[in-house]
Amino acid sequence: MLRDLPEARVVAVAPGGADEAVSRFDSAAGVTAQTARYASYRDLLAAGDLDAVQVCVKPMRTATVLAECLRAGIPAMADKPLAATEAQLAEVWAAHKETGTDFSATHMFRKMRSFALAHELVRSGQAGEIVAGHCQISFRWGAARPDWFRKRETFPGTFTFIGVHAVDSAYWTVGDRFHSVTGHESTAPHPDYPACASLAYATVLLDNGGALVLSADFLRPMGATTHGDVRLRLAGTQMTLDASDRDETKLAVVDGVADVVKDAREIPFWYTTWAQHVLGQGAPFMTSREACRITELTLRIQRAIDTGDTVNLRGSITD
């Protein structure tokens, strides 16, 4: 975004919590000697003269900080998930409704050109009715996870933490067709982290009777060249679409005529479109309502996983 918009500047930074030091920003992109440094994010907000803020704190605190930004009248991009609980999300939405201040979330897989092409083929009707699909998000566990991943009081659950990317990818392509969900998770690979499942799966029924399997896991091998990967497969009545980040410029398409690989056109960088929107220059890659709804769906899916119940996905606090 800083490359795309040379006029954009990081004018101020502040730690997101008492356990963080402002020195962590010293090597951050866009931070210079002229960047103001505050001991508290509340001091930063109170100083004013900001076009927007980026919120990147531990997930149990994101909603609180985000709501404060919105009530201060400052548009905010928050790290995913926007909230760790449904009650927290309701507070964020209330702050948005009270002030009209926009917000969004770091759903960066929307930058993938192949997903954007899948979106176009589905939303234009060319793929027909989507009746089945799968989206997998897989990350490396790493040498270790921080202690705050061990307890649900400090960690919101694996599906909430990373499964939100699978929900966003499905929502982005298929639309708000979610009807109900059941789910399962397992901590078998890392039983000493009972709050952080190594794998979490959700079966989402669509409003047309079809089904999507959305999965999130920390099973990507340590030898992998990247920390995470993502795969999307959608079966429609006219086309089957396959995409992955192995080559985000290509989308495999099978229809009644041919089995082909389509080139995906270049698309604007997601964060750039949001920053431009804040500056009054067009639509963002995701509206505040979409960001809230995607988080809402994710939290309900986590509830289904936690309780073993079938959870209704219809209706929204944004309605």
Residue 167: name the closest of 77, 298, 293 by CA: 298
Domain contains 273: no
Domain contains 222: yes
Q: Which two tokens stand for residue 182?
A: 């059941």
Domain contains 1: no
Domain contains 280: no
Instruction: Tell whether 135 and 226 lie within a shared domain.
Output: yes
Instruction: Tell whether 61 and 149 lie within a shared domain.
Output: no
- Boundary-marking domain end, from 55, 90, 105: 105
Predicted local distance difference test score (pLDDT) of residue 88: 98
217 confidence band (pLDDT: 50, 70, 90): very high
Instruction: Tell whether 43 and 191 lie within a shared domain.
Output: no
Q: Given a cut of 90, is residue 19 above it in pLDDT?
A: no
Contact 132, 235 (CB under 8 A): yes
Q: Report, as an integer, the average pLDDT of 174-194.
A: 97
Instruction: Tell whether 150 and 53 lie within a shared domain.
Output: no
Percent of the chain predicted with pLDDT > 90:
93
Predicted local distance difference test score (pLDDT) of residue 17: 83
**Which residues, other chains included, contact 257 with Cβ-Cβ below 8 Å and sequence gap of 6+?**
none
Predicted local distance difference test score (pLDDT) of residue 219: 96
241 confidence band (pLDDT: 50, 70, 90): very high
Domain contains 317: no
Predicted local distance difference test score (pLDDT) of residue 104: 97
- Residue 215 maps to which CATH number? 3.30.360.10
Q: Report, as an integer, the average pLDDT of 207-234.
A: 95
214 confidence band (pLDDT: 50, 70, 90): very high
Q: Distance of CA 236 to CAs 9, 131, 133, 207, 215, Å? A: 44, 6, 9, 14, 20
29 confidence band (pLDDT: 50, 70, 90): very high
Percent of the chain predicted with pLDDT > 70:
100
Q: Which domain holds residue 54?
A: 12-105
266 confidence band (pLDDT: 50, 70, 90): very high
Q: Which two tokens stand for residue 226?
A: 């990247």
Q: Given a cut of 90, is residue 20 above it in pLDDT?
A: no
Q: Report, as an integer, the average pLDDT of 6-19.
A: 91
Predicted local distance difference test score (pLDDT) of residue 48: 87
Instruction: Tell whether 263 and 301 lie within a shared domain.
Output: yes
Instruction: Tell whether 203 and 71 lie within a shared domain.
Output: no
- Boundary-marking domain end, from 105, 133, 158: 105
Instruction: Tell whether 66 and 176 lie within a shared domain.
Output: no
Domain contains 31: yes
Instruction: Tell whether 40 and 57 lie within a shared domain.
Output: yes
307 confidence band (pLDDT: 50, 70, 90): very high
- Residue 55 maps to which CATH number? 3.40.50.720
Cβ atoms < 10 Å from Cβ of 18: 7
Predicted local distance difference test score (pLDDT) of residue 110: 85
Instruction: Tell whether 139 and 240 lie within a shared domain.
Output: yes
Domain contains 2: no
State the total domains in the chain: 2
Residue 254: name the closest of 246, 243, 244, 242 by CA: 242
Please state, rounded to an integer, the average pLDDT across all residues of the chain: 96
Residue 185: name the closest of 211, 205, 155 by CA: 155
Q: Which two tokens stand for residue 27?
A: 């090597």
**Which residues, other chains included, contact 303 with Cβ-Cβ below 8 Å and sequence gap of 6+?**
86, 309, 311
296 confidence band (pLDDT: 50, 70, 90): very high
- Boundary-marking domain end, from 75, 105, 135: 105
Residue 100 region, left (φ>0) first, then alpha (ψ -120 to 50), else beta? left
Q: Report, as an integer, the average pLDDT of 39-68.
A: 95
Instruction: Tell whether 226 and 254 lie within a shared domain.
Output: yes
Predicted local distance difference test score (pLDDT) of residue 18: 83
Instruction: Tell whether 79 and 159 lie within a shared domain.
Output: no
